[in-house]
Amino acid sequence: MIKKIHSYIIKEFLHSFIFSVIIFSFLLILTFVFDLMDLLIEKGVALWAVVKMFTFYFPNVLILSIPMATLFGSLLSYGRLSTDNEITAVKAAGLDYKTLTMPTIIFVCGVSFFLVFFNHFLAPKLNSNLKAYFEEVVTKRPLVKFNEKSLTKLGDYRIYSNKVDNAKNTLIGVSIYKFENDYVENDKKIALPQNDNGAWRITASSATVKAYATGAQLTLYKGYWQKASPSDMTNMTHATFKTYSLFIPLRDNIKSYSIGPSELSSPKLIEIIKQYKEQKLAFMPYLLDYWLRWIYAVAPIIFIIIALPIGIRTGKGGKAVGFGLSLGIIVVYYTLLVLSINLGEKEYLPIGIILWLPNLATGAVGIYLFGKMVKK
């Protein structure tokens, strides 16, 4: 009989858990989906490329959605069992709360064990693949970074365009701004006046863009180059051109972008942290990312401990009450986590200790409530 009851409880929990994963994942990924739709509809990126980027990105959402789904799923499933008096019936048959909750706790511990591997190894690999593939898409369709009637940062340059023609990789009505101590590489067709001091701008009727691994090549048509003297703003250098080629190097940007903490496995993070400590460089972002992977992996266990007694004792109300309770606990938990991150970054306490405070506080409340429930 006990095996049948355990099987029934797990099925009930899994239905609520999977439903919760879908809902929370959808909410967390919504902004990224809008970005993908923009790439597909406005930027002309192929459907298969958009689907591939979504495939790389979606599993990373599970880092946050699984802990929240554990909380909501357990409140929902055990709340339903309590509302329908099924828990009362099982207790009348001689079974205690430990028997009722143990299969769910064991299942969630397995989920946490999976998240340890996922957070430390698989998620960084997916992030790295996403960044690399996005750079590949940008190389083929460089205008995916550009939006009409807004400034786009490309290297050390700011580029404004009235219209973006993604099919032809062409910008219409272009203005390019470069600030002090920046370098411009000119095409052989025309030699524009240059000075290493002061800001300048280029305005052109149109420009074609080609992307390479090291930067972007802009060929501008029918425009002018302007530069004011810093010492005398009334002294303006002005030169017109029919065709002008400008190469914007991005090698340094790509290099620094590719070594972000989220793209590195945990063993690599530990290695970098040690190196940066020895060289007295800033290592806090890497240390923070490392510990957060552990925090998020353990969170499902913490949430199930506090959710089970609350779900059983406040079962009436259905999904609305379950969602409200989940939202309240999540808000309190992540408020504590953000506070711990801020205190850790300011080095009031070692970040490897203070980041565990939200889990310890939530877990302590859960153990207290669970103990009271078991004694009844």
Could you report the per-residue pLDDT of 135-144, keeping only the tens digit for each?
777 666 655 6
Note the pLDDT of residue 62.
Answer: 92
Q: What is the mean pLDDT of the chain?
A: 82
- As beta bridge partners, residue 216 has 211, 248
Least confident of 19-23, 210-214, 368-372: 210-214
Output the pTM of the full model: 0.72
- Domain positions in the chain: 2-140+261-375, 156-249
Q: Are 126 and 60 in contact (CB under 8 A)?
A: yes
Q: Could you tell me which residue, 68 or 345, shows the higher pLDDT?
A: 68
Segment 155-181 mean pLDDT: 80
Note the pLDDT of residue 316.
Answer: 54
Q: What DSSP state is assigned to residue 147?
A: -
Q: What DSSP state is assigned to residue 292?
A: H
pLDDT higher than 90, residue 65: yes
Note the pLDDT of residue 373.
Answer: 82
Helical segments of the chain, H only: 2-41, 47-83, 86-92, 97-117, 123-140, 251-257, 266-278, 284-313, 318-345, 351-354, 357-375
Segment 161-175 mean pLDDT: 84
Least confident of 38-47, 59-68, 200-209, 263-272: 38-47
Q: Could you tell me which residue, 134 or 294, shows the higher pLDDT?
A: 294
Locus of tokens 């420009």: 207
Least confident of 149-163, 181-195, 204-218, 294-308: 181-195
Measure the CA angle with vertex 69, ends 368 and 307; round to 5°. Answer: 15
pLDDT tens figures, 261-270: 888 999 999 9
Note the pLDDT of residue 185.
Answer: 44
pLDDT higher than 80, residue 236: no
Measure the CA angle with vertex 117, ends 366 and 134; round to 5°. Answer: 115
Q: Are 311 and 76 in contact (CB under 8 A)?
A: yes
Note the pLDDT of residue 61.
Answer: 92
The amino acid occupying position 303 is F
Q: Are 78 and 159 in contact (CB under 8 A)?
A: no
pLDDT higher than 60, residue 252: no
Least confident of 26-35, 311-320, 361-370: 311-320
Segment 169-189 mean pLDDT: 66
Locus of tokens 């970074």: 145
What is the rounded CA–CA span in Å between residue 346 and residue 111? 33
Segment 76-90 mean pLDDT: 82
Q: Could you tell me which residue, 268 or 1, shows the higher pLDDT?
A: 268
Q: How would residue 347 be classed by pLDDT, with cut points 50, 70 and 90?
A: confident
